[in-house]
Amino acid sequence: MIIGLTGSIASGKSTVANMLKEYGLPIVDADVVARLVVEPGTSTLQKIVEAFGEDALTEDGAMNRQKIGAIIFNDEVKRKVLNGIIHPAIRQEMLRQRDEHVENGEKTVVMDIPLLFESKLQHFVEKILVVSVSEETQLKRLMERNQLSEGDAKARIQTQLSLSVKEQGADAVINNNGTIEETAQQLETILRNWNVI
């Protein structure tokens, strides 16, 4: 079974991903893959240099995230160019890792995709697990975690689909407003229901 794990900023998705690791489940992590595909020497990084010039690199040949961030922040066209290079590479590598785990005999693979719904990647997975919190909890956690003002935290939250919309597309929802133990208990119940454990 391929499980898609998602949530929103400060919903506790990483906490649940770590719990899934403790069950020994292989995890394909979109954030890790996103860094992997632009490492020095990759064709993806070469395409970025072709599109954005040598300025796209740091002195040691890595992607210059600050420079590129500054370029695409105010330029919708250039952001689309960058996404057009990076997103297909990320998807290809995630599918490669998923298929490799399956070929190695893994019965269950978790695909940790923060923007699963936003990127319309539901077809990558068979079951969707959403880690959700109340809006108040999400705002409070994000402000504390990232030292943000309420306005800045709200602006970040609003760049993603609301958790209530994600819950509607989920096969199961973990309510992460309570304690770690309560979250772990919910996860265990879901994994049992899905015959994973």
CATH of region 32-105, choose from 3.90.1150.10, 3.60.150.10, 3.40.50.300, 3.30.70.600: 3.40.50.300
Domain range summary for the chain, segments of one domain joined by +: 1-26+107-197, 32-105
- Express each pLDDT in 63-78 by its tens digit: 999 999 888 888 899 9
Whether residue 153 is annotated as binding a ligand: the answer is no
For strands 127-132 and 172-175, give the pairing: parallel
For the stretch 115-147, pLDDT in tens is 999 999 999 999 999 999 999 999 999 999 999
Q: Record the tokens describing residue 115, joined without a space.
A: 């923007």
Q: What is the pLDDT of residues 23-41, one digit of tens each?
A: 999 999 999 999 999 999 9
Are 99 and 24 in contact, with CB atoms under 8 Å apart?
no
Q: What number is the average pLDDT over the span 192-197?
A: 97
Beta-carbon contacts of residue 195 (< 8 Å; ≥ 6 apart): none
Domains 1-26+107-197 and 32-105 share a fold: yes
Segment 152-164 mean pLDDT: 91
Do 4 and 113 form a contact (C-beta atoms < 8 A)? yes
Angle, helices 13-22 vs 180-193, to 10°: value is: 60
**53 annotated to bind ligand:** no
CATH 3.40.50.300 is the classification of domain 1-26+107-197 = yes
Does residue 43 have a known ligand-binding role? no
Q: Is 10 annotated as a binding residue?
A: yes
Model confidence band, residue 150 (pLDDT cutoffs 50, 70, 90): very high
